[in-house]
């Protein structure tokens, strides 16, 4: 089985390349990027603008395809999957947390968290129960029926985290999750993510500009000009 | 995904933009309402014409000619094979004064036996039938007894004398007649019974200064002999007399009503087409606005088909809501229109004595005392009589009409919604998420 080859790694990136063409000009966004993360690892990707962080995140999130190389998530290669397989894969294995929260504004917090569960065979009642219980764990038990516009930034981001978490994914991809938040709320969100990676054994990859918050991570991947410049293993801050 | 989840998400999205949704539903509603109203109205007219023809009987042959008919004609026709009845009729126009109300009427002379045959048994609303003698006793039709100019209240009492004027206002001559009965309401094509003052043949001849009959109704022994009898009569009289069978009238009426219906439905269909374009327009705007949300949904595992259904469902909801509202509005406006048309036509007839129903028959040269003859000589003229005076109609609503209207609304909405929904489903999540 494919899974045996990648043993303990939940995420394995091998020689990833991405070349964009704009007219005759080729832009090499990623070059020979390789790294592996274990179950429950909390990794940060840092680097200047245009370094290829977003491209890497999009490929990890299966919403963009690499020019060459392979990504294994939970031992499964993602590059060759078709549209419906990818949708299914994203639903079961991945969770997304965005800088702008990206909640559906017309729906309540509870309904937003319920959305990924609609793809499962769960009954509406079970779905609601599960969404409520996750929101409660994240301290939002009294905010279930509020719409995103009625919530603070930190609360909205926690709803987004609940949505990313609700299908028990292998990997959560967080793209500058603290970018729109003040220092205090940002700190809360980072601590929450770290707790999730620890307790639920979910691998988390986070893009950030803020060197302060990398101290909570197990690993920091520095990217520059599409290459992995440095891999930094951190001693975990208790 | 469960179907109710799609419905719920679609509904949520629609209620996010209430004004826009309401206006789009309104567009569908107007299209469906016009189809339902127009089809029910023409079906109502058709049904009422067919009812009148039924009253007339499928074996009827109507003879009319500019020279009129005499008793010789009657006995000659009675002697023909396969003829079961010959009913001579005298008809002219007049107006009647009672309680200060001036009502335009058709003066009809027909034997009691004849009217019984014509109406397939006479039902009296009140009183009894006149006698066949020359005495000035009359029965009146419903709209004479209850004129709309009198707000539909009873204007005539049985047993009271009324003044009947024949001829125009200038050269009119008046006679006092005694009302002995009021007829039930009848839809009749040859004679506008409801707006008639009916009396015996000799009484009508005297009153209208006629020595001839205006119309003769011949009944064939059965439906299979009608055409041969009609042919025989045509051979006898040649072109001086017009011979029309009920069946010919029915066919012509069907053809005319059919083509009017087609035309009206096409016009109503255009409004539904406009609604379809409206739906497509609104849905395209909606997809554009929702691009970012579509990206979010795709990132959390919605498939293309899921996105397609969420948007297609919105068009369907608009179609179903507009269709149901349209049926209700169509039923309402059909009743409204039939009320208005009956109201307008009856007051019009009452307000212009002589210029109303009988005017269209005024092709007879011998207008004794200003009276005109009924000449139900052509199907078109018979129709004119039906719509202008003697026939009131109710719209006819069938389950088929409504089901088809609703189905058309749903299909049209679905077709209009497919392209926007398809565009939504094909959005790449990476592009969709980039757009804010």
CATH number at residue A187: 3.40.50.300
For B300, the closest of A64, A84, A115 (CB atoms) is: A115
Q: Please report the pLDDT score of residue B383 as a whole number.
A: 36
Domain count, chain A: 1
CB contact under 8 A, A118 and B1: yes
The per-residue pLDDT for range B390-407, each reduced to its tens digit, is 456 788 888 998 999 999
Q: Kindly list the residues from chain A whose CB atom is less than 8 angstroms away from the CB atom of residue B12.
A: 106-107
| CA atoms of A208 and A192, how far apart (whole Å) | 16
Helix B304-351 with A83-93: angle, nearest 10 deg: 110
Domain count, chain B: 1
Q: Please report the pLDDT score of residue B392 as a whole number.
A: 65
| Residue burial A112-145, b: 16+ Cβ < 10 Å; e: rest | bbbbbbbbbeeeeeebbebbbebbebbebeebbe
Which residues in chain B land under pLDDT 70?
167-172, 188-189, 343-392, 436
A21 in a domain, yes or no? no
Q: Mind telling me how many Å the CA of B410 is from chain A's nearest CA?
A: 26
A11 in a domain, yes or no? no
CA torsion, points B365, B366, B372, B377, in degrees to nearest 10?
A: -60
Q: What is the extent of the structural domain holding B36?
A: 3-53+254-355+390-428
A3 in a domain, yes or no? no
For A118, the closest of B5, B12, B13 (CB atoms) is: B5
For A119, the closest of B1, B304, B433 (CB atoms) is: B1
For B16, the closest of A61, A84, A106 (CB atoms) is: A106
Helix B3-16 with B304-351: angle, nearest 10 deg: 60
What is the CB neighbour count within 10 angstroms for residue B396? 17
A25 in a domain, yes or no? no
Q: Strand A203-207 to strand A42-46: parallel, antiparallel, or no bridges (unpaired)?
A: parallel
Rounded to 5°, angle at Cα A108 from A105 and A109: 100
The per-residue pLDDT for range A32-91, each reduced to its tens digit, is 999 999 999 999 999 998 899 999 999 999 999 999 999 999 999 998 899 999 999 999
A26 in a domain, yes or no? no
- Inter-residue contact A103 to A156 (CB < 8 Å): yes
| CA atoms of A170 and A165, how far apart (whole Å) | 9
| CA atoms of A171 and A72, how far apart (whole Å) | 11
What is the CB neighbour count within 10 angstroms for residue B357? 23
For A107, the closest of B4, B12, B292 (CB atoms) is: B12
- Inter-residue contact B292 to B436 (CB < 8 Å): yes
Q: Which percentage of chain A shows pLDDT scores above 90?
A: 81
A184 in a domain, yes or no? yes
Q: Kindly list the residues from chain A whose CB atom is less than 8 angstroms away from the CB atom of residue B303.
A: 83-84, 87-88
Alpha carbon of A21 to those of A59, A80, A203: distances in Å? 17, 21, 32
Residue pointed to by tokens 């129709």: B383
CA torsion, points B262, B265, B269, B272, in degrees to nearest 10?
A: -170
Chain B: residue whose CA lies nearest to A58: B430
Starting at the edge strand found earlier in the chain, the sheet holding A68-73 runs: A25-38, A9-22, A68-73, A76-77
Chain B interface includes A169 (CB < 8 A): no
Torsion sign, CA atoms A153, A154, A157, A158: negative
Judging by beta carbons within 10 Å of its beta carbon (0-12, 13-18, 19+), is residue B271 exposed, middle or buried?
middle
Give the list of residues 6+ apart from residue A7 with CB closer than 8 angstroms, or none.
none
| CA atoms of A152 and B78, how far apart (whole Å) | 99
Q: What is the extent of the structural domain holding A130?
A: 38-64+81-233
B72 in a domain, yes or no? no
| Residue burial B223-262, b: 16+ Cβ < 10 Å; e: rest | eebbeebbebbeeebeeebbbbbbbbbbebbeebbeeebe
- Inter-residue contact A48 to A224 (CB < 8 Å): yes
DSSP assignment letter at B151: T
Two tokens at B249?
């009238």
- Inter-residue contact B361 to B394 (CB < 8 Å): no
pTM of the model: 0.73
Q: Mind telling me how many Å the CA of A98 is from chain B's nearest CA?
A: 10
Give the side-chain half-sphere CA count within 13 A for B26. 6
Best of B17, B299, B313 to substitute, by most chain A Cβ atoms within 10 angstroms, is B299
Q: Smallest Cα–Cα separation from A11: which of A171, A196, A198, A161?
A: A171
What spatial distance separates the first Cα and last Cα of chain B, rounded to whole Å?
27
Give the list of residues 6+ apart from residue A93 with CB closer than 8 angstroms, or none.
A73, A74, A76, A169, A170, A171
DSSP assignment letter at B386: I
What is the CB neighbour count within 10 angstroms for residue A169? 23
Q: Smallest Cα–Cα separation from A54: which of A219, A218, A233, A208?
A: A208
Chain A: residue whose CA lies nearest to B16: A106
Which of these ranges, A109-123, A205-219, B313-327, has the smallest mean pLDDT? A205-219
Two tokens at B142?
């419903």
Q: Kindly list the residues from chain B whose CB atom is less than 8 angstroms away from the CB atom of residue A61.
A: 299
What spatial distance separates the first Cα and last Cα of chain A, rounded to whole Å?
37
Q: Kindly list the residues from chain B whose CB atom is less than 8 angstroms away from the CB atom of residue A113.
A: none
Q: Kindly list the residues from chain A whose CB atom is less than 8 angstroms away from the CB atom of residue B298.
A: 63, 87, 90
- Inter-residue contact B31 to B274 (CB < 8 Å): yes
DSSP assignment letter at A234: P
Chain B interface includes A100 (CB < 8 A): yes
CB contact under 8 A, B16 and A102: no
Chain B interface includes A104 (CB < 8 A): yes
B313 in a domain, yes or no? yes
Alpha carbon of A56 to those of A64, A177, B107, B266: distances in Å? 9, 16, 97, 58
- Inter-residue contact A6 to A72 (CB < 8 Å): yes
Q: 3-class DSSP state for residue B351?
A: helix
B326 in a domain, yes or no? yes
A118 in a domain, yes or no? yes
Q: Please report the pLDDT score of residue B345 as a whole number.
A: 53
Alpha helices in B148-245 (DSSP H): 201-208, 226-237
B258 in a domain, yes or no? yes
| CA atoms of A32 and A23, how far apart (whole Å) | 23
Q: Which residues pair with A77 in a beta bridge?
A: A72
| CA atoms of B341 and B339, how far apart (whole Å) | 6
Q: Please report the pLDDT score of residue A39 as a whole number.
A: 92
Chain B interface includes A163 (CB < 8 A): yes
B336 in a domain, yes or no? yes
Distance of CA B227 to the CA centre of its chain: 28
Q: Please report the residues numbered 35 through 64 in chain A whose beta carbons come closer than 8 angstroms to any beta carbon of chain B.
A: 58, 61, 63-64
The per-residue pLDDT for range A141-178, each reduced to its tens digit, is 999 999 999 999 999 999 999 999 999 999 999 999 99
């Amino acid at each position: 089985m494919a899974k045996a080859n990648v043993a303990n790694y939940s995420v394995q990136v091998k020689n990833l390349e991405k070349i964009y063409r704009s007219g005759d000009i080729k832009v090499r966004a990623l070059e020979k990027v390789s790294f592996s993360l274990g179950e429950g690892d909390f990794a940060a990707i840092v680097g200047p603008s245009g370094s290829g962080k977003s491209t890497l995140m999009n490929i990890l999130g299966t919403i963009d395809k690499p020019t060459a190389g392979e990504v294994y998530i939970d031992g499964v290669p993602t590059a060759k999957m078709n549209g419906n397989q990818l949708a299914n894969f994203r639903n079961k294995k991945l969770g997304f947390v965005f800088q702008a929260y990206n909640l559906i504004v017309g729906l309540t917090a509870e309904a937003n968290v319920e959305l990924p569960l609609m793809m499962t065979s769960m009954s509406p009642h079970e779905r609601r129960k599960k969404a409520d219980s996750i929101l409660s764990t994240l301290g939002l038990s009294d905010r279930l029926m509020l719409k995103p516009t009625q919530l603070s930034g930190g609360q909205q981001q926690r709803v987004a985290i609940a949505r990313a978490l609700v299908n028990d994914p292998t990997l959560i991809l967080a793209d500058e999750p603290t970018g729109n938040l003040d220092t205090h709320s940002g700190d809360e969100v980072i601590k929450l993510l770290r707790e999730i990676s620890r307790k639920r054994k979910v691998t988390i990859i986070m893009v950030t500009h803020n060197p302060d918050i990398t101290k909570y991570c197990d690993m920091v991947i520095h990217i520059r000009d599409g290459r992995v410049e440095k891999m930094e293993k951190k001693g975990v801050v208790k | 995904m469960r179907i109710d989840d799609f419905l719920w998400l679609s509904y949520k999205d629609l209620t996010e933009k209430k004004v826009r949704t309401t206006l789009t539903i309104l567009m569908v509603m107007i299209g469906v309402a016009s189809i339902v109203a127009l089809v029910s109205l023409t079906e109502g007219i058709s049904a009422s014409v067919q009812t009148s023809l039924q009253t007339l009987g499928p074996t009827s042959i109507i003879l009319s000619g500019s020279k009129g008919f005499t008793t010789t004609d009657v006995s000659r026709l009675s002697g023909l094979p396969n003829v079961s009845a010959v009913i001579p009729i005298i008809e002219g126009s007049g107006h009647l004064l009672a309680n200060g109300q001036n009502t335009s009427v058709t003066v009809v002379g027909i034997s009691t036996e004849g009217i019984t045959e014509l109406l397939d048994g006479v039902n009296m609303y009140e009183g009894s039938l006149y006698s066949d003698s020359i005495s000035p006793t009359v029965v009146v039709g419903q709209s004479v007894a209850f004129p709309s100019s009198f707000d539909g209240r009873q204007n005539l009492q049985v047993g009271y004398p009324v003044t009947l004027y024949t001829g125009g206002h200038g050269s009119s001559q008046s006679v006092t007649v005694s009302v002995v009965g009021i007829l039930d309401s009848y839809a009749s094509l040859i004679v506008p019974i409801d707006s008639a003052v009916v009396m015996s043949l000799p009484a009508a001849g005297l009153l209208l200064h006629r020595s001839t009959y205006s119309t003769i109704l011949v009944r064939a022994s059965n439906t299979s002999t009608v055409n041969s009898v009609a042919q025989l009569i045509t051979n006898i009289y040649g072109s001086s007399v017009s011979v029309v069978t009920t069946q010919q009238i029915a066919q012509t009426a069907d053809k005319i009503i059919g083509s009017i219906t087609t035309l009206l439905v096409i016009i109503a269909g255009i409004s539904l087409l406009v609604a379809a374009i409206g739906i497509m327009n609104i849905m395209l705007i909606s997809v554009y606005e929702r691009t970012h949300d579509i990206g979010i949904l795709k990132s959390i595992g919605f498939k293309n088909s899921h996105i397609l259904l969420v948007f297609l469902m919105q068009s369907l909801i608009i179609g179903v809501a507009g269709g149901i509202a349209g049926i209700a509005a169509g039923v309402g406006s059909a009743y409204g229109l039939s009320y208005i048309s009956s109201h307008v036509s009856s007051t019009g007839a009452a307000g212009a004595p002589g210029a109303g129903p009988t005017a269209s028959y005024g092709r007879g040269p011998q207008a004794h005392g200003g009276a005109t003859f009924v000449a139900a000589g052509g199907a078109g003229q018979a129709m004119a009589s039906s719509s202008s005076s003697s026939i009131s109609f109710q719209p006819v609503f069938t389950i088929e009409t409504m089901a088809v209207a609703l189905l058309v609304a749903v299909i049209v909405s679905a077709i209009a919604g497919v392209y926007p929904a398809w565009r939504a489903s094909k959005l790449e999540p990476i592009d969709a998420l980039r757009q804010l």
